[in-house]
Amino acid sequence: MSGMASDHNDSSQEGYIPHYLQKEDPFASKLSREADIIAGFYLTIIGILSTLGNGYVIFMSSKRKKKLRPAEIMTVNLAVCDLGISVVGKPFSIISFFSHRWMFGWIGCRWYGWAGFFFGCGSLITMTAVSLDRYLKICHLSYGTWLKRHHAFICLAIIWAYATFWATVPFAGVGSYAPEPFGTSCTLDWWLAQASVAGQAFVLSILFFCLLFPTAVIVFSYVKIILKVKSSTKEVAHYDTRIQNSHILEMKLTKVAMLICAGFLIAWIPYAVVSVWSAFGRPDSVPIQFSVVPTLLAKSAAMYNPIIYQVIDCKFACCRSRGLKAKNSSKKSR
């Protein structure tokens, strides 16, 4: 704890002392033991479902890896990010909730915070890339046909570099990772914004480049797609069967991407709101019991995507089978 105190001299100079530098143990749970046990069981279920679901997506994709389209390659990368959160991060928090305190000290706290932010940022930037891919495929066909598999792999390299940069920036002395107010989890040190102008600049940079800007790109892309689809649905009906089938496949991928983005943002926006309030609101004004709910909701985001894949795939398979039956019946009638 003395090491952390030296990292936060600005805090003491400004008179604001964050919760993790106050007298009580920052890693002791501030929740009741019953609440910690419930949270531990909840995260265990989420972790198992997420691991199995995303592992299944990666396994099935690996069997047809040479046939994956660029958007599907991005979807696999999203499953890798979700699996990383489940395998690397969730065991730390599950053990800590059941133990009624964070069990891994400051080193484990920094590692857990880095891993959560790294994979979370990777997920959001991957969804941003997917939304742009969908936008180009649907709204700008000339650009959409130009995008090939090797462009997708270049995009993956950029995504991982982007996530690595922003997750590692706090270790360069401009930020930090710290325990949550309830004690059994760790995150970005949002409370630096209460201590100094440099802390505010750090938090604002994270919010803009790792949340607001990607979200704005996603919203823009799907709004343009919806408007385009409304205006072009009648046109596609006049094309031949091959073009119609290609259009149906593109729309299937677009629906998957839209639902994934919606699920991710619904899970993470409450946590982002609480984090911003902790950073720029009245110090320690967020009740500890209230702050744990958005955190647990955000941790469930990795579980939704495999469910979305399966629902859309089942609907697509049903539509395709009905189309084949209709085509066969028409041939027989002729």
pLDDT single digits (tens) 170-222: 998 888 999 999 999 999 999 888 888 888 999 999 999 999 999 999 999 88
Check residue 87 and give its pLDDT: 92
Query: How far apart (Å, rounded) are the C-alpha atoms in residues 185 and 298?
Result: 13
Confidence of residue 323 (pLDDT cuts 50, 70, 90): very low
Tokens of 4: 């952390």
pLDDT tens-place string over residues 58-70: 998 888 888 888 8
Residue 327 has pLDDT above 70, yes or no: no
pTM passes above 0.85: no
Question: Is the CB of residue 109 less than 8 Å from the CB of residue 177?
Answer: yes
- All structural domains of the chain, each given as residue ranges with its CATH number in brackets, are 33-232+239-311 (1.20.1070.10)
Instruction: Report the chain's C-alpha Rg in angstroms.
Output: 23
Query: How far apart (Å, rounded) are the C-alpha atoms in residues 221 and 257?
Result: 11
Check residue 178 and give its pLDDT: 94
**DSSP letter (8 states) at residue 22:** S
Residue 6 has pLDDT above 50, yes or no: no
Mean pLDDT score of the chain: 82
Tell me, rounded to whole angstroms, the distance of Cα 275 from its chain centroid: 16
Check residue 278 and give its pLDDT: 87
Confidence of residue 259 (pLDDT cuts 50, 70, 90): confident
pLDDT tens-place string over residues 16-30: 788 888 778 899 999
Check residue 113 and give its pLDDT: 95
pLDDT tens-place string over residues 228-237: 877 765 555 4
Question: Is the CB of residue 53 less than 8 Å from the CB of residue 306?
Answer: yes
| HEC profile of 49-108 | HHHHHHHHHHHHHHCCHHHCCHHHHHHHHHHHHHHHHHHHHHHHHHHHHHHCECCCHHHH
Query: How far apart (Å, rounded) are the C-alpha atoms in residues 282 and 197?
Result: 16
Question: Is the CB of residue 110 less than 8 Å from the CB of residue 63?
Answer: no
Check residue 54 and give its pLDDT: 92
Query: How far apart (Å, rounded) are the C-alpha atoms in residues 138 and 308?
Result: 21
Confidence of residue 262 (pLDDT cuts 50, 70, 90): confident
Burial 276-289 (b: 16+ CB within 10 A, else e): bebbeeeebebeee
Check residue 169 and give its pLDDT: 93
Query: How far apart (Å, rounded) are the C-alpha atoms in residues 28 and 182?
Result: 8
Check residue 225 and give its pLDDT: 84
Angle at 306 between CA 300 and CA 308, to 5 degrees: 95
Check residue 22 and give its pLDDT: 79
Question: Is the CB of residue 166 less than 8 Å from the CB of residue 207?
Answer: no
Helix segments in the chain, DSSP class H = 2-7, 9-14, 33-62, 70-84, 90-99, 105-139, 141-146, 149-168, 197-207, 213-236, 241-280, 288-299, 301-333
Amino acid at 30: K
Name the more confident of 227 and 3. 227
Check residue 241 and give its pLDDT: 57
Confidence of residue 8 (pLDDT cuts 50, 70, 90): very low
